[in-house]
Amino acid sequence: MKKKVLSFILAATMMTAMVAGCGNSGNTKTDEPATNTQDEKEDAADDKEDAAGDETDAASGDLSTKKVGVCIYQFSDNFMTLFRTELENYLVEKGFSKENITIVDGANDQPTQTGQIDNFINDKVDVLIVNPVNSSSAETITDKVVEAGIPLVYINREPDADEEKRWEDNGWDVTYVGCDARQSGTFQGELIKDLGMDKVDLNGDGKIQYIMIEGDPENVDAQYRTEFSVKALTDAGIEVEELDDQVGNWQQDQAQQLVANALGQHGEKIEVVFCNNDAMALGALQAIQSAGRTVGEDIFLVGVDALSEALENVINGTMTGTVFNDHFAQSHSAADAAIKFLTGEKNDYYIGCDYVKVTSENAQEVLDMVK
């Protein structure tokens, strides 16, 4: 049902960008267990039979015996909560058993997550879906998971281009599923540009004065949204002045404090508040309201994700706009990629999706779909 509405919105608002093609070479190195005694040999033979049976099950579409390990960088992240809930539901819808899906919280700590990956490898999961705490750890993660012969689907935090190239060059069963964060940044800038200078340039100096509240700076989503939101304005010939740029680590409370400080320091000069995600935009809104400012009248505020609360604010005019970060498409593509690996098919090394720009015009429609 939600999928249908989503398809409609996507078809109506943008070009299709889902790329789910096939890579052209294979991977999977399976380590044979050491067999020192007759019993162990028999066990190994049994394991082989089980494995052969599993392959047949998967090929015939029976995924109910397959074990899926899912690592999330941090459970308390609002967006990743939507993502993992949908991922689990969709995996079950596709035929996996709920008890064979294990989702763990990396607590925003890479050593914790690395230990969880080791445990999944020891437990011989059939496929791993990983939202890395640090995308720079991807090389180490990939090496150990590939070595164990387990297919790997990265989500949400994109490893760098060199790492993705390694998967391709080696023909490994590894892929990344996510949206191109440049697009979300561009949409944020356009949300402001589309209001027109007469409205946004409150002090009439011919420039847009803004503050930027960034997510985790290691994360490419934060880097691109920061860059491309402003670029959309300058590309349109609009002059900008950055009054402040702070790191709120994707978190509402941190953003509230940072925006309160910035408002204290720069006051009325601030015309626009860009936040790399909605959680931080909600924090920014609290600070804006405490400072007696009114979004849409004497300040403008944009986020990314389309959390329900943010969409309600867009509908009420207490946020200027947001950008829908499609957790349905991303979680479904991640599960579909995992299924392809399990059934012996290949995946492209990058599986993308599109963001959707959200204004007061379509916010209700998006809210009906995400709720």
β partners of residue 322: 358
Choose one: 2-10, 24-32, 93-101, 215-223; the region binding ligand BGC (CB under 6 A): 215-223
Q: Which residue has the tokens 């969409």?
A: 311
Of positions 86, 214, 221, 354, contacts ligand BGC by CB under 6 A: 221
Give the list of residues 6+ apart from residue 91 with CB closer than 8 angstroms, or none.
Answer: 68, 101, 335, 338
Q: Is residue 220 within 8 Å of residue 175, measured between CB atoms?
A: no
Nearer to ligand BGC, 176 or 250 (CB): 250
Give the H/E segment covering residue 289.
helix 278-290
3-state secondary structure of 30: coil
Pick from 219, 226, 320, 362 the residue near ligand BGC by CB under 6 A.
219
Applying CB under 6 A, which part among 8-16, 32-40, 50-58, 76-84 lies near ligand BGC?
76-84
The residue from 77, 86, 173, 354 that contacts ligand BGC (CB under 6 A) is 77
Q: Which H or E run contains 288?
A: helix 278-290
Pick out residues in 295-354 that bind ligand BGC (CB under 6 A). Answer: 304-305, 325
Within 13 Å, how many C-alpha atoms sit on residue 124's CB side?
Answer: 9
Q: Is 296 exposed, middle or buried (0-12, 13-18, 19+ CB in 10 A)?
A: middle
Number of shown-chain residues binding ligand BGC (CB under 6 A): 14
CB of 244 to ligand BGC, least distance (A): 20
| Of the residues 84, 157, 193, 332, which one makes contact with ligand BGC according to CB under 6 A | 157
Binding characters for ligand BGC, 231-250, by CB under 6 A (x = yes):
-------------------x
Whole-number Cα distances in Å, 263 to 116, 125, 189, 277: 42, 50, 21, 19
Site string for ligand BGC, 80-119 (x = CB under 6 A): x---------------------------------------
Helix/strand/coil percent split, the chain, to 5: 50, 15, 35
Residue with Cβ nearer ligand BGC (277 or 333): 277
Q: Which of the stretches 29-37, 41-49, 72-80, 290-298 binds ligand BGC when contact is defined by CB under 6 A?
A: 72-80
Q: How far apart are CA 320 and CA 299, in angstroms?
A: 9
State the minimum distance, in angstroms, from the CB of residue 77 to ligand BGC. Answer: 5
Choose between 142 and 325: whose C-beta lies nearer to ligand BGC. Answer: 325
**Site residues for ligand BGC per CB under 6 A:** 77, 79-80, 156-157, 215, 219, 221, 250, 277, 279, 304-305, 325
